Amino acid sequence: MGFGMFFIVPLQAGRGVKVITRDNIASPTALCIKCNCRTRSHVLEVAQYEEYEELIEDELEEFQGRKKFVDEEKEQKFVIKYALVDEPIVMCHKCWVKKKDQLVAAMELNHGLWLENMSEHLLEAKKFLKDWKYYQLSKESRGELEVKVKQLKAALKEEYV
Ligand SMILES: [Zn+2]
């Protein structure tokens, strides 16, 4: 006794703001994080949208008076709408190619060194792999590059075992 439970249920339960990504539509454009040109060539972080419902008022006024006698709830139609809350983080192709070349060069230069002594280069290697993923280079890397990335990942993993 005495431990009653109280739930405060807002009238518009379930109508809270929902922030989502929309993977089935093309990204909106935004400014390249390097050179500020407008682009969507490489989407590094997808846009965030707020999902909300909007009442459709498609009935003619003259009919509405009569229809009010019918279940009012059922007369209301909602359409799902989206408002952009966070622009995507993007890079233009020109800047991306530069970034890619930089990372590939860093890999060529350091790969051997990192593998030889991973414990000393833990942070560098970790940062490198993070960038590699962030700039979506895994899709691009084949053959020798792919092998090298895999070796680095494996060596990093071993350090944490
Ligand atoms: Zn750019």
The tens digit of pLDDT for each residue in 85-139 reads 999 999 999 999 999 999 999 999 999 999 999 999 999 999 999 999 999 998 7
Cα(47) to centroid(ligand 1), Å:
18
Q: Is the dihedral of CA 87, 93, 98, 100 positive or negative?
A: positive
pLDDT tens digits, 58-94: 655 555 555 555 555 566 788 889 999 999 999 999 9
d(CA 139, CA 144): 14
pLDDT tens-digit map of 30-58: 999 999 999 999 999 999 999 988 888 76
Helix and strand counts by DSSP (H, E) for the chain: 5, 7
| Residue 132 CA, ligand 1 centroid: distance in Å | 18
* Residues bordering ligand 1, an ion, CB closer than 5 Å: 32, 34-35, 92, 95
Ligand 1 center from residue 141 Cα (angstroms): 21
What's residue 10's pLDDT?
46
Q: Which residue would you say has higher pLDDT here, 19 or 32?
A: 32
pTM: 0.73
- The label of the residue with tokens 């930089």 reads 102
What is the residue type of 14?
Answer: G
pLDDT for position 56: 80
- The tokens describing 23, both together, are 């993977």
* 88 Cα–ligand 1 center, Å: 14
* Contact between 25 and 48 (Cβ < 8 Å): no
**127 CA from centroid of ligand 1 (Å):** 22
Q: Rounded CA gap, 27 and 84, in Å?
A: 11
